[in-house]
Amino acid sequence: MRQNASHGNNTVCETAVNGQPVPHLILHTESGNRYFSLVGSNCWRVGRGDDNNFVLPDRWISRNHALLQQMETGDFYLIDLGSRNGSFVNGRRVSVPVTLQSGDRLTFGQTELEFFAPNLDSTAPTLGNDSQEFTATATLHVRRLISVLVVDIRNFSGMTRQIDEKVLSEVIGTWFRCAGDIIRDYGSWVDKYIGDAVMAVWIHGAQGISPDEMMRVAHALSALHKMTSQLHETYPLPAPIRIGAGLNTGYAMVGNTGTGDRPDYTALGDTVNAAFRLESSTKQIGMDIALGETTYRYLIEAGVKPEVFIPKTVHLKGYDLPTQTYAGLFADLDTFLQSTQV
């Protein structure tokens, strides 16, 4: 639901459910406080444009300025989306996603809000079964076949030492925003923003995965690489930014954490964990992409040439036995996808 902070809007959003306080933002104005409830989803976008969840009519705020995201742990993150004038927490500009604490002051443009989240470890009261609202920490209870993509910026720590903090904030914010747009264009959503990485999930049907579905995932991966590699053409970076990716397919527990007309799903389990480990393994083997065996099989069935990815044995952190992965380079994937376009 879109909530508008226009001074002419006197709507006060509920800050309690069944008598229990829930997370919210407070906007202090001369005519009194206005409240933005942080329930009913796990992701809220802030900006000047009407397509945001929280619309702030401040000319110093970008159209799509920042994002608040709640994890399944209950923690809230603030992510700047490459805004021109930056996002600030307690007066400090943020250049990477930061964890919020109750009472933090969030500044966008010339607008300041207070973040309030009582009992962060238990801010998700269970609503009745007939309610259309689901809290962001709803129980994960459906076992589904999914594909998990984890994309991570290479040498991010080194980059933070080489470029100005303001430029860094704009670059990372732009990357998050563009990555989210690309992933949505190819049928998924960003489940998590984590420091210098994003995680996306594709939920497949009970009958398996169609070739078209897998090719959408492959095209999303290629588009993410192209977008990232072109950022140095817009920003004063010492070199093009590189990314690594882990892609894994399998079963996981998923649940709807959104409202009836705005579903949000999150996933939990070994399939998700392995995707993160596969991404990390690309650094060991000097490749750009690492696939799980099931992902590789589905991609081959979808028409991807076997030579695009080669078998590698890797030792994933937390796994006792060596793991078989199929690794490749973005250049080879891009070449193959271009050859399939009519």
Express each pLDDT in 104-144 by its tens digit.
999 999 999 999 998 654 333 332 333 333 333 333 457 88
Residue 260 pLDDT: 39
Residue 256 pLDDT: 53
Sheet with strand 32-37: strands edge to edge: 32-37, 24-29, 111-116, 105-108, 87-89, 92-93
Mean pLDDT on 243-272: 75
Mean pLDDT on 189-196: 84
Q: What percent of the chain has pLDDT over 90?
A: 56
- Integer CA distances (angstroms), 277 to 147, 185, 250, 254, 292, in order: 14, 26, 14, 20, 10
Residue 132 pLDDT: 34
Distance between CA atoms of residues 215 and 70, nearest Å:
30
* b/e per residue 270-279 (b: at least 16 CB within 10 A): ebbbbbbbbb
- pLDDT, one tens digit per residue, over 294-319 is 999 999 999 999 999 999 999 999 89
**Dihedral (C-alpha) 108, 133, 182, 57: value to the nearest 10 degrees?**
-30
What is the enclosing helix (H) or strand (E) of 282? helix 270-285
CA triplet 174, 179, 182: central angle to 5 degrees? 125
Short-list 302, 305, 327, 304, CA closest to 314 = 327
Asked whether residue 9 carries a pLDDT value surpassing 80, the answer given is no
Distance between CA atoms of residues 56 and 150, nearest Å:
32
Residue 127: strand pairing partners = none
Mean pLDDT on 149-167: 88
Asked whether residue 188 carries a pLDDT value surpassing 70, the answer given is yes
With 0-12 CB in 10 A as exposed, 13-18 as middle and 19+ as buried, what is 342? exposed
Asked whether residue 83 carries a pLDDT value surpassing 70, the answer given is yes
Distance between CA atoms of residues 227 and 168, nearest Å:
16
188 with 225: CB under 8 angstroms? no
Kindly report whether the global pTM for this prediction surpasses the value 0.95: no
Asked whether residue 15 carries a pLDDT value surpassing 70, the answer given is no
pLDDT band per the 50, 70, 90 thresholds, residue 280: very high
pLDDT band per the 50, 70, 90 thresholds, residue 189: confident
The torsion region of residue 166 among left (phi > 0), alpha (psi -120 to 50) and beta comes to alpha
